[in-house]
Amino acid sequence: IRCSALKPSRSYKITLLPGDGIGPEVVAVAKDALQFVASVEGIEFNFKEMPVGGSALDLTGVPLPEETLSVAKDSDAVLLGAIGGYKWDKIEKHLKPETGLLQLRAGLDVFANLRPAVVLPQLVDASPLKKEIAEGVDLMVVRELTGGIYFGEPRGIQTNQNGEEIGFNTEVYAAREIDRIAHVAFETARKRRGKLCSIDKANVLEASMLWRRIVDEVALKYPDVELSHMYVDNAAMQLVRNPKQFDTILTNNIFGDILSDEASIIAGSIGMLPSACLSQSGPGLFEPIHGSAPDIAGQDKANPLATVLSAAMLLRYGLGEEKAAATVEEAVLRTLNKGYRTGDIYTFGQKLVGCKEMGEQVLESLGALTKAA
């Protein structure tokens, strides 16, 4: 171990974007986990921390400084904490922290968002669903991330011919955008259980009609993957009624945003779910799917495990370091097996801990794993 730490065989540049609220707390824990596993696996990480979101707005006057985007583009992978908070809720839209996040995704062209939702055996009792429904759930949401209604034009707030104020947005997708995210979804399903469900609203929306047609065309190239379609309203119901029917889910931007959050609570807490945002060539963006939780920020109450698991996805999908990724994931499971829980996943009889202690326990589990190896 000492030899591998002294002579790393692989070196990567990692941009850290702690962001707002609990972001700095959870990113600090994930960084420690990355440094630990790197020392064991002969990896060197060169970390550079940059501002984004509300903290960047306070510091520079914009939610995504040009330097932050430049550093992120020049890195091998980007780890993000969380953005936003009550402090910035009433400012102009172009200055909102969430606008900075959308600009970051567009700037990195991370069009494919992978959001796993797994009910871990250790947390099945934390799920609001009945045990027989929640137990064994293991699904992956593949969400298109840089198109659709969040980016479509025209958009705005205007006054119509009757003098009434109106707000409008445009749900628009080009065939190219649908084609590339569909390929990602089929490839993902192929590596899982070979089932893909595409979610749309093709009975009403023209954008969804095109979406379904393109997905059907791409499906011809993947005869080994079973494709089905489902309307989004039914999918929202089925996720609660029978989530185990799903393996891989393909959705557009807005449907994926909503459905993946719904899937997260099936797993017990949004504080447990990581995500990976991938491009075709540049660095990926890895982040927990939870928000900045300003109500508990700075109180050592946050659950850092979603960010630690996002770091594992960074290792696997961003850097191709499969062994290191699996080690981090196993350390999280071992920590849960020992009964440690933050408040969001706590049940009677477990050990209630804060963010820092949960991080320390993950590091202890990592140490035990390396000794065993």
3-class DSSP string for the chain: CHHHHHCCCEEEEEEEEEECCCHHHHHHHHHHHHHHHHHHHCEEEEEEECCCCHHHHHHHCCCCCHHHHHHHHCCCEEEEEECCCHHHCCCCHHHCHHHHHHHHHHHHCCCEEEEEEECCHHHHHHCCCCHHHHCCCEEEEEEECCCHHHCCCCCEEEECCCCCEEEECCCCCCHHHHHHHHHHHHHHHHHCCCEEEEEECCCCCHHHHHHHHHHHHHHCCCCCCEEEEEEHHHHHHHHHHCHHHCCEEEECHHHHHHHHHHHHHHCCCHHHCCCEEECCCCCEEECCCCCCCCCCCCCCCCCCHHHHHHHHHHHHHHCCCHHHHHHHHHHHHHHHHCCEECHHHCCCCCEECCHHHHHHHHHHHHHHHHHHC
Single-letter amino acid, residue 147? G
Question: How much is the pTM?
Answer: 0.90
Residue 272 and residue 327 in one domain: yes
Task: Write down the pLDDT at residue 7.
Answer: 62
Q: Assign residue 21 the CATH number of its domain.
A: 3.40.718.10
φ/ψ of 120, rounded to 5, equals: -70, 145
Is 135 within the bounds of a domain?
Answer: yes
Is 2 within the bounds of a domain?
Answer: no
Residue 139 and residue 247 in one domain: yes
Is 123 within the bounds of a domain?
Answer: no
Q: Which of 215, 237, 265 is the last residue of a domain?
A: 265
Residue 274 and residue 218 in one domain: no
Positions annotated as catalytic residues are: 150, 201, 233, 257, 261
Residue 147 and residue 241 in one domain: yes
Q: Which of 265, 293, 323 is the last residue of a domain?
A: 265
Q: What is the domain extent for residue 63? A: 7-118+268-372
Of 247, 227, 252, nearest in space to 143 by CA? 252
Residue 328 and residue 202 in one domain: no
Of 145, 15, 27, 23, nearest in space to 78 by CA? 15
Residue 22 and residue 114 in one domain: yes
Is 45 within the bounds of a domain?
Answer: yes
Task: Write down the pLDDT at residue 3.
Answer: 40
Give me the number of domains the chain comprises: 2
Q: Which of 206, 241, 265 is the last residue of a domain?
A: 265
Intervals of the chain under pLDDT 70: 1-7
Residue 80 and residue 145 in one domain: no
Is 1 within the bounds of a domain?
Answer: no
Residue 138 and residue 258 in one domain: yes
Of 54, 45, 47, nearest in space to 23 by CA? 54
Task: Write down the pLDDT at residue 107.
Answer: 96
Task: Write down the pLDDT at residue 368.
Answer: 93
Query: In b/e form, how buried is each residue of 74-110, taking b as 16+ CB within 10 angstroms?
Result: ebbbbbbbbbbbeebeeeeeeebbbbbbbbbbbbbbb
Which bin fits 298, alpha (ψ -120 to 50), beta or left (φ > 0)? left
